[in-house]
Structure 1
Amino acid sequence: MNADIYIELPGTADAAPRLAVRRANALVPAEFESYQVSGRPKAIAFAPALSVAKFQVPVAAKSEAEARKAALYAVEDDLAQSVEDVHILLGPRQPGRNLRDIYVADKALLLHWAQQLQSAGLGHAEIVPEASLALAPGTIFDFGDRLLIHGEAGTLGADRAWPEGVLMEILRKSGLSNSNVTLANALETLAALEARAPGIRLTETRSAGAAPVGNTFRRWRLAGLLALAAAAIWIAAIQFEINSLRTSYQQQDAQARGIYRQQFAGAPEPGDIHAEVRRLSAATSGKAAGDFLGLSAAVYEALASRPGAQLRQLQYSDQDASLRAVVRFASASDADAFRAALEAAGWSAQTETLTDLSPGTQAAIIVRTAP
């Protein structure tokens, strides 16, 4: 059944909800702050997927009270705040399965939304998590400020403000790298999905008093809302990995330059230290020494025959005079060929790790002077 009014709840404390009113067969946008409600129209407010976390856990219990306790225990470690500060809602039982969907929202956030709705005379609106709506598998909606995705791990949201590399990794891990992205109006799309298959209703939130929510709401936002089940865990891991990789590269570049200054005291420091390493290696006759300069020269020489390979990191260890090279290849066989080229040139090369990136392979190879 269609509602008379649809509201898109904000994901930040300083933003206003968006509102649309049904006129005949169309939704007409209206200003939330100035809209005057007449009577008690049927209203549905959609909560963004980034603000209401969705978990799916096995729950075997005889009663709903026991199921709720079991579900809360299962997700407690994944929450970004105390369980006393969150509202938990169990999804319906699934025939033949003990898996249950669990929706988790911060109580301060729900109170904030309720106050916004009440200020417009829409305190009776039903709040529906957009993550509970039935999306076809493989769907990617771009609502402008966020993505709503149905991938291999189910439905999740992604903030458009996140780095492009993070968004691409989310799509890849959701099995949607080659899927089409549909640019869509959020309210029109969510209203259509709700009319087709109604989503979960969060418990009604009423507030007789206007309790302050600023501090708890900010704590909620600064904690990254809630951990978005497994998705949020690896999204955060990707962001940390990107930052770590960037920092590591800067550290290795600084280390290379420091070694260059030690070896060539008083000489002008080259703008591209890696190009200078290649130049020096080309001028070096015989077997290079097992220091950073010699080992990195060997790595660059071996890479020269593999134009598709991408050098990601070089890390030199003074303790055992070894160089750890992290390289991305098109395939595992290319990684083996790279290692073989090093060995053919008289170096000791051992594969430390080999990671399937689909597509491509990333290898960490330890290079030393051959005994």
Structure 2
Amino acid sequence: MAADPLTSAPISGPTQKRADGVWRLAADGAIIAVCDGPATLLVPTESVRVLTVELPLKSAARRVEALPYAVEDRIADPLDAVHLALGPSVGPDLYRVGIVRTAVIADWVARAEAAGLGHAPMVPDALALPEPPDGQWVVGIDGARALVRDGAGGGFAMPLAALPAAWRAAGRPAVLADGDGLPPELAAVATPVQPFDAAASLAVPALDLRQGAWQRQSSGDPLLRRLAWIVGLGIAAHVGIAAADTVMTGVIADRRANDTRALVQQFAPGTPMDGDLADRVTAMLPAAGMGGATDRFLPRLTRVAGVIQPLVPAGTVQSVRFEGDRMILTIDGDAALAARIQSALAASGVPGTATGDASGVVTVTAGA
């Protein structure tokens, strides 16, 4: 079995060529070699939202155009502040998608190119794990981090201390362990993952973030240059099709806007329809309830857990739940721990409160 890029020790010395092998962007920004294999740069999944999106469109160009509309209600950041990367199909009309803030990927790309890895695919490190069957998790441990790849096509990372609560909140899916170090609660039910060739799996990346404005550099291989010419000719041949797809997308958008205006006039006669239709309709909607809680749960949990993880001992998180638009964590602790968590939330700009009670429980409530 090839070396596991999630657990291999860094490689040093002259044996590794900078342009080849699997590399990792470390927490301190350094790029280190982890194992042999195709040129690949693994980046921290904590900064990437990996999800699956339904795109029932036959044209690749049209899928790229429709992608922002398919994810805009599933992310907190404005679309102009994020980079969207469309991955391979993971089911009928379902595609893996990566979402990362523009400032973050700009920094990653600059570091990769300075390190001679401008031609390497950029892959969230959770997707270096083998893909599990539907309804199961593959979990890998990287120090104080837990990396999870799920059978639905997604992947995420979080502090190890928060993993048991997240696993319970997800319905206790079957766990396949890639290595040791699982918390006891998961270790008791986990089974070892089947041996896999990590280098072979990374030869076809599960998701390459180097797309669009952040397209990878050419590695200089003449064969690849010829392939680029062929692809270019193919793109030119399909310009007409892409143009037709664009026109049809506009027609569909106009139809939906007209349908929305008709519904507004039916249920709220007299409502003015001038200006931005989306703003008008949004202002009429009730306050957010439970709808979409699943889509908001993991990114919010990851953000809050990243703030409190240095303060919370492993195994002290009792529960995590979603109520309306709030996420609530209960933790074994005292008033002093609650005060430290409150200070950490404020310092990190994360909206939320931390309170302790006489029974030795700290309740952390995170808002939108």
Give the structure-1-normalised TM-score: 0.45
Q: For the pair shown, which has the larger CA radius of gyration, 1 or 2?
A: 1
Using CA pairs under 8 Å that are at least 6 residues apart, name the structure with larger relative contact order, 1 or 2: 2
